[in-house]
Chains A and B, each alone.
Chain A
Amino acid sequence: METDVLIIGGGPAGLAAAIETATRGLDVTIVDESSSLGGQLCQQTQLIRPLPSVYQPMRGFELAKVLTEQINDFTVGTLLNHRVIGLYADGSVGLSDEEKVFPVKAKKIVVATGAAEQAVAFPKWTLPGIITIGAAQTLVNRDFVMPGKEAVIVGSSDFALDVASQLLEVGVEVKGIVEKNPAAAAREKEKTDALIGRGIPFYFNSFIKEARGNGQVEEIDIEVNGEILTVSADVVCIDGGRSPILDSFYQLGCSFGYQKELGGWIPQYNRQFKTDRENVFLAGNAAGISQQGALLLTGMIAGISICEDLQTIRSGEAEEIRDALWEELKLSEYKDVWEGRTKHIEKFSSPVLKDQFIS
C-alpha cells in the first residue's frame, strides 16, 4: 500500500494534520488501534477551550465529530483496529490487524500517538477497583458503566476535577480528593471551588498509605498531616499525570530530549514539527503534553509543513500560516508548557539521546 501521508494515531492532533494535508490535495491514510476516530476526545463530555480560532468552544465528543466530518469529503483512508508494529528495511511502516502484517510506503509520516496515563503506586494498589482517572471517565462516558458507588480520587489536576464532576453527575459519591501538595493542582480555580461548594473534601499534603479489601478495594488509609484517615471506597481513581507515547519514535530511530514541562522524554523536533528522521513529523501529546486546543494547533503546523515539503503550498505562504499558528499556540497553552516547548526546540541539533540502535 502507498500513501502520501501516513498519520499514526487518529486523535485530535492526527485529525488536525489530516485535515490540513487532505484539503490541500494529498492522499492521506490514518491508522488507529481503536475502532473509531477521535482518540480520547470520544469520551470527553467537558467543554474544551480554548480551541483554535476556526472552532467554537464545544464538548470533547462533539469536537471529535466535527474533526472527523471534515475529512470525509477528501481522500483520507482510515485503517481502524490496526496498529503499527515495526518497520521494514526499506522504511515502509508495518501495520497489523492481528491477523496479517503488511507494509505501507508513505512519503511523509506524522506520529500522533498521544499520551498514556501514569499510575501512582501504593501498597495493594493492584486491587480491583483501583483504576486511572481516565479509565473512570471511559467507563462512565463511553461504556455507560458506573465504576463504583463510593470513589476516592488521587490527584487534583484539571482533568481529575473534570472527571470528579462527571462522577458526581452520574450519582457516584466522591468521598474525597487526595493531593500530595498543599494546594490543588488544577489551574482553573473555579473547578476546585465548584467541588468544595458541593461539599467534596480535599485532603492536601496527603497520600494513600494503603488500600485494603477482600478481592477488591473496600477501604483506603489516607495519611493527612501525619494522621491516618480510613475511608470506605469501592473505586479509587489515580491521576498520576500523563507521558507521551514514544514507541513509534523509538522504532523510527528519532532522537529524544528531556523536557519536564512537556511530560518528560519526548522526541526532538523543530519549528516545522519535524523530527530529525527524514520525512517523520509529529503532533499532539506525543510532542509534549498540553491542552486540547494546543494539540490541534500542533497537528495543523505539522500538516502545513508536510504540504510545504510536498509542494502543495508555496513556501512563503506556508511560513506565514505557520507563524500565525505558532502565535496562536503561544496563547493556547500554559506559559510554562510554552516555555518548555521553546527550550526543547532550541535543543533540536544537540539531542541528549540519539542513535539508540547504534551499538
Chain B
Amino acid sequence: METSYETIVIGGGVVGNGIAFHLSERYKEGVLVLDKKYPMSGTSGSTQAWVWVHNKTPSWYAEFNMYSAELYPYLSKKIGDVEYKRTGGLSPFFNESDREKAKQLAESYRKIGIKIKVLSREKVLEKEPFMNPEVAGATYSSIDGNVNPFRLIDMYMRASKKNGVHYSTYNKVTEIQKQDGKYIVVSDQATYVCKNLILAGGTWSRELGEMLGIKIPVNQLRGQILVSEPLKPFLNFTISGLRQANNGEVLMGYSMEQAGFNRATTLDVIQETANMAVRYVPALGKAKIVRAFSGIRAMPEDGFPILGKVPGFENLYVAATHSGVTLSPLIGTLITELILDGETSIPIDRYSLSRFG
C-alpha cells in the first residue's frame, strides 16, 4: 500500500473534494484524500445545497460567493451533470419597513457588480404564485440556485479518481507530526507521509488543528431540515429557507442551534420549521412531511472562511468554511493555485487564519 504522497487532503467533504479535484487537473499523481467516514456522511450530505450569493454580507463576502457561483457551469462541464440549476433566489420580506433595508443591500451590492432587485408584492406573486399573498416584497438575484450535493461529490470523486487521486475512507486521522520538512499523518489504517498537507475537516477542523497545536476556531451549528412528499413542480425559485428538488420533494430548513456534534432532530424545531415554511408558502400546509434530518454545519467564529497557508507551518494549508457547497469550486481553484503557483488569482489574505491572532 502506498503511504507516501505529495499532497494529502484530510476531509472528503465538498471542500476537500473540490480541492482534490482541482489539484488533480494539474498534477496527476500523488494526491490522497482521507475521510473519517465516507464522503457525504457528514455536513455535505445533509444540506439543502444552495449555491447562494445574495444577502450574504458584507458585500466583499458576497462577491467571493459570486465568483464561486459563476464557476459552477464550467465545473459541470468538467466533471459531469451535478444537477446545478441557476433558479434565481428570492428572499421575501413581510413588513413594508424592511424595504428600505433591502434597498440598501441592493445598493451596496450594485457597487461590486452583483445585481439585486427589490421586488414589489405584485412582482413577487407574479414570479412565485404560491408565495403567501401577505408578502410585502422580496429581494431577488438571478445568480442564486442549487445543486444536488450527492451528485456533486460523487462526480468530484469520479473525476478525481480518473485523474489519479487516491481515496481512503473510514480512516480517521488520529495524529499529525511535522518531521524533517514533511508531515506524518497517522490514521486508523496506516501512517502516511506527505509534503503538502491540507486540513479540510469541516466541523472537525478545530480537532484537526489541535493535533499540530494550531487553533482553528470553527464551531458546530445544527440545522434541521424537513422533506415533503414529492409534489408536482410548483416552486420556481430557491427561496430563503426552502427549495423544491428535481424529484418534487420540498426541502425546508430555517433553524440554527448549538448542539455540538449531536445530529438528532427535535419536534420543537420541526414544528417551528413547518410553521415557517407554511408562512412563506401556505400551500405547503397540505403537504405531508416524510422525513426530517439534521446537518452539523461548520461555522468559523467570525462567520467567514478560513483559507490559505497556516502561518508558521510550511506547506500546511487550511480550508474551513460555512457555505461549502457554494464556495467549493472557488476554494478548490484557489488552494490549487496557492500550492502550485505560490499565489492566488484573487486575493485571499482577508481569509487567513492569522486574523484570529
Contacts and interface: CB of A to CB of B under 8 A. Distances in A.
A359 B42 contact: yes
Contacts of A101: 267, 271
A86 B265 CA distance: 8
A103 B266 CA distance: 11
Given A359-B42, A359-B203, A359-B296, A88 B268 contact: yes
A357 B268 contact: no
Interface residues on B, range: 10 to 19
A253 B264 contact: yes
B153 to A, nearest CB: 16
Given A359-B42, A359-B296, A87 B261 contact: no
Contacts of B294: 357
A357 B267 contact: no
A1 interface: no
Contacts, number: 34
Interface of A: 85-89, 94, 101, 103, 251, 253, 357-359
A251 B267 CA distance: 11
Given A86-B270, A86-B292, A357 B264 contact: yes
Interface centre among A86, A101, A253 (most CB of B within 10 A): A86
Interface centre among A85, A88, A101, A359 (most CB of B within 10 A): A359
A318 B203 CA distance: 47
B263 interface: yes
A359 B261 contact: yes
B267 A358 contact: no
B3 interface: no
B113 to A, nearest CB: 38
Q: Interface of chain B, helix or strand or loop or mixed?
A: mixed
A92 to B, nearest CB: 8
19 contacts: A85-B267, A86-B266, A86-B267, A86-B270, A86-B292, A87-B264, A88-B266, A88-B267, A88-B268, A89-B269, A94-B267, A101-B267, A101-B271, A253-B264, A358-B261, A359-B42, A359-B261, A359-B263, A359-B296
Contacts of B271: 101
Q: 7 closest pairs, A vs B, by CB?
A: A94-B267, A357-B264, A359-B261, A89-B266, A86-B267, A357-B263, A88-B267
Interface centre among B262, B265, B267, B270 (most CB of A within 10 A): B267
Contacts of A88: 266-268
A242 to B, nearest CB: 24
Contact of B262 (A85, A87, A357): A357
B253 to A, nearest CB: 16
Contacts of B265: 86
A218 B261 CA distance: 53
A87 B296 contact: no
B288 to A, nearest CB: 9
Interface centre among B261, B266, B296 (most CB of A within 10 A): B266
Contacts of B264: 87, 251, 253, 357
